[in-house]
Structure 1
Amino acid sequence: MTTIEVVFTLFIAFSGGLAVGSGYVAFLTVLGILPRLAQISKTADKIVWYEAAIILGTMAGIYGGLRDPVLGISPYFLLIMGLAGGIFVGLIAGALAEVLNVIPILAKRLNIDGKIIVLLMAVVFGKIFGSLFQWLYFIRQ
């Protein structure tokens, strides 16, 4: 790899990191996801712990993405970690949907005001089938 290719690759990686990081920070701050989640769960006095968890989780995700570590832990513990991760993603998605009032707006735009439950079930089953496809597809490889 030539020097210009290395510099170009570093520039692209740095630019991508800035774009993703800016979107992540905007998601958490501008939309007020964290304060709303703390308010709903009645744990506003522990907001510092939320912040520390987000920073440590981001750092662990970056490390895991770059190094592809092998943890060597029990599959049962991995099930618990997967469940906790799924709950977290669900909470964030629920908080985002509540903040933006996505579902009523989407139902109105699709002219299915009286059938919001159908829209919700489509989102739920889409997420389930998408996750199953991802897990089963990567397990077979």
Structure 2
Amino acid sequence: MFRNLALIFVGLSAGGIIAAGVFAFLVIIGVFPRLIGETGTKRHILLYGTVIVTGGVLGNIADLYEFPIPMAGFSSLFLGIFGLAVGIFVGCLVMSLAETLKALPVISRRIYLAVGLQYLILSIALGKLAGSLAYFLCGMAAE
């Protein structure tokens, strides 16, 4: 009995530490403050905190228990919306990380790009989109 309680304690503690590290990383690189600043919704800061923590908790529960979500014919729509939301989040994460590391100004100086950095970023994103679409639509993904 003591061994089971110790394992539960160690597992929950390790999970809490990992989750805190992930959220701290996201805050340090500026994902959440940047999104709040860009959308101009500073007055809802408590709602942002609540939604972020709730999403982390629900995501962990869904990962641990793997319960099925009945869609009743809406699975494609749900997966499309979910994929779009995850893609937007990953894009924001990547851009925040790139800004934190100061990678984009270094790249623009090295290739002597004075104007049009936003077009360079857009072309990289569109290339990634085209590659992903070719991969999934041409049947290259594992079934």
With structure 2 as the length reference, what TM-score do the two structures score? 0.64
Q: Which shows bigger deviation, 120-129 or 76-85?
A: 120-129
Which 5+ residue runs of structure 2 have no aligned equivalent? none
CA distance in structure 1 between the partners assigned to 2:11 and 2:130 by the alignment: 33
Tell me the residue number matched to 2:111.
Answer: 112
Which 5+ residue runs of structure 1 have no aligned equivalent? none
Tell me the residue number matched to 2:102.
Answer: 101
1:43 to 41, 44, 47: 41
Q: Deviations over 1:2-24 (max 9, x none)?
A: x7xx95xx858854x35532432
Question: What count of residue pairs does the alignment treat as equivalent?
Answer: 132
Stretches of 4+ moved more than 6 A in 1?
none
Q: Is the 8 A contact 1:104 1:113 kept in 2?
A: no
Shift of 1:61: 1.1
Describe the shift of the 1:77–1:62 C-alpha distance in structure 2 as closer, same or farther (beyond 3 A): same
Describe the shift of the 1:118–1:66 C-alpha distance in structure 2 as closer, same or farther (beyond 3 A): same
Shift of 1:126: 4.2
With structure 1 as the length reference, what TM-score do the two structures score? 0.65
Structure with bigger helix share is: 1
**Identical aligned residues as a percent:** 27
